[in-house]
Amino acid sequence: MSTILEKISAIESEMARTQKNKATSAHLGLLKAKLAKLRRELISPKGGGGGTGEAGFEVAKTGDARVGFVGFPSVGKSTLLSNLAGVYSEVAAYEFTTLTTVPGCIKYKGAKIQLLDLPGIIEGAKDGKGRGRQVIAVARTCNLIFMVLDCLKPLGHKKLLEHELEGFGIRLNKKPPNIYYKRKDKGGINLNCMVPQSELDTDLVKTILSEYKIHNADITLRYDATSDDLIDVIEGNRIYIPCIYLLNKIDQISIEELDVIYKIPHCVPISAHHHWNFDDLLELMWEYLRLQRIYTKPKGQLPDYNSPVVLHNERTSIEDFCNKLHRSIAKEFKYALVWGSSVKHQPQKVGIEHVLNDEDVVQIVKKV
């Protein structure tokens, strides 16, 4: 393990020494590709039998969405979980009080949302320090990350945490790169650029691909991409997760400082201890999770508004709705009656392809 870490630090120091200009761009691209490969090896080592992972870390997924609390030790993650979900997670004035994942669950707008209080991360977590790799591995399975920061400590902590998560293949508040990439058996490297590129050219793309031993591929760049974006697409194991920064302990700062904090994007100032600004936080959480509630209506009865079927924004067709209820319903499906904003008439008869909106009411009619 130390050899990989030594290689990573050697490459990072070489990248820091190298000037950025047109002449060195190919060399820097090659170094970035090598770095990404070494990082991947660090996450999932080559060969060898799978050992028994450290017990008691991963938690069974329950509810409609999962939110993970990530942050340095002693920033108030456990206090926040206790006050939001009413679950007891040990709280004390020393660092590393929480040693395993503590789950909690809240019901918000009819959806069950699982909250995970993860142990504190320290600098160097992505290289395996302080159980950091297990913590970040659990963070990868979340639909949304709450990055809890202490507003009395410098905001440099935000950068450090982002760097740790990025080293593990998690990209926060980003969209997947709009790059088409397909490996071939023959035909060489074929690069198409839809827009003028400021960084990538054919030589640099070939250099990066040759590091991965790829010599035949089709690549289409649909925007002004960087070498990092290209490496992310080739690696293919990157996860894009929305993130909300929670600046905790605002009861200890002045109003003027609070005004400045409010201007930071994706950020909510809170006080976990005094329950301040939880409404804002939950509202923003709902917005970032992008969940949709669909109400069911049995024939001849009123809709059931108490227990909606919660779907994720990308998968909101009638078929997804049927599968969420039970796998067999889609096979026996005849048509559905829908009331709500996704249809022109109330009710409207729709097929299995129809895409639903938030708070639609659905009645399914089966084949006889």
Same domain for 24 and 158? Answer: no
Q: Could you tell me the residue range of the domain that residue 333 belongs to?
A: 291-366
DSSP state of 250: G
Number of helical H runs and strand E runs in the chain: 11, 16
Between the alpha carbon of residue 254 and those of residues 78, 176, 280, 281, 289, the distances in Å are 24, 39, 19, 20, 31
Tell me if residue 242 falls in helix, strand or coil.
coil
Where are the alpha helices (H) located in the chain, listed in sequence order? 2-17, 25-43, 77-85, 132-139, 156-166, 202-211, 227-235, 255-261, 278-289, 318-325, 327-331
Asked whether residue 49 is domain-assigned, the answer is no
Asked whether residue 312 is domain-assigned, the answer is yes
> Which of the two residues, 213 and 122, has the higher pLDDT score?
213
For position 131, what pLDDT does the model report? 64
Q: What is the pLDDT of residues 67-105, one digit of tens each?
A: 888 888 777 777 888 888 776 666 655 556 666 777 888
Same domain for 277 and 212? Answer: no
- The sign of the dihedral angle between the CA atoms of 42, 46, 51, 53 is positive
Same domain for 147 and 29? Answer: no
Same domain for 185 and 213? Answer: yes
Same domain for 148 and 284? Answer: yes
Q: What is the pLDDT of residues 257-310, one digit of tens each?
A: 778 878 888 888 888 788 888 888 888 888 888 888 889 988 888 888 888 888
State mean pLDDT over 99-121. 81
Asked whether residue 219 is domain-assigned, the answer is yes
CATH number of the CATH domain containing 249: 3.40.50.300
Q: Domain count of the chain?
A: 3
Q: Distance between CA 146 and CA 75 in Å, rounded?
A: 12
Give the global pTM: 0.77
Same domain for 29 and 161? Answer: no
For position 128, what pLDDT does the model report? 56
Same domain for 169 and 201? Answer: no
Same domain for 207 and 343? Answer: no
Same domain for 129 and 93? Answer: yes
Average pLDDT, the chain: 81
Last residue of a domain, one of 194, 218, 235: 235
Q: How many CB atoms lie within 10 A of CB 215?
A: 14
Same domain for 264 and 360? Answer: no
CATH number of the CATH domain containing 323: 3.10.20.30
Last residue of a domain, one of 288, 304, 324: 288
Asked whether residue 51 is domain-assigned, the answer is no
Same domain for 153 and 199? Answer: no
Asked whether residue 53 is domain-assigned, the answer is no
Q: Distance between CA 224 and CA 193 in Å, rounded?
A: 9
Between the alpha carbon of residue 207 and those of residues 31, 32, 319, the distances in Å are 10, 11, 44
Q: What is the pLDDT of residues 18-61, one digit of tens each?
A: 888 878 888 888 888 888 888 777 766 555 444 444 445 677 78
Same domain for 116 and 189? Answer: no
Asked whether residue 54 is domain-assigned, the answer is no
Asked whether residue 70 is domain-assigned, the answer is yes
Q: What is the pLDDT of residues 305-354, one digit of tens each?
A: 888 888 888 888 888 888 888 888 888 888 899 998 988 998 899 988 89
For position 361, what pLDDT does the model report? 92
Asked whether residue 58 is domain-assigned, the answer is no
356 contacts 338 by C-beta, under 8 angstroms: yes
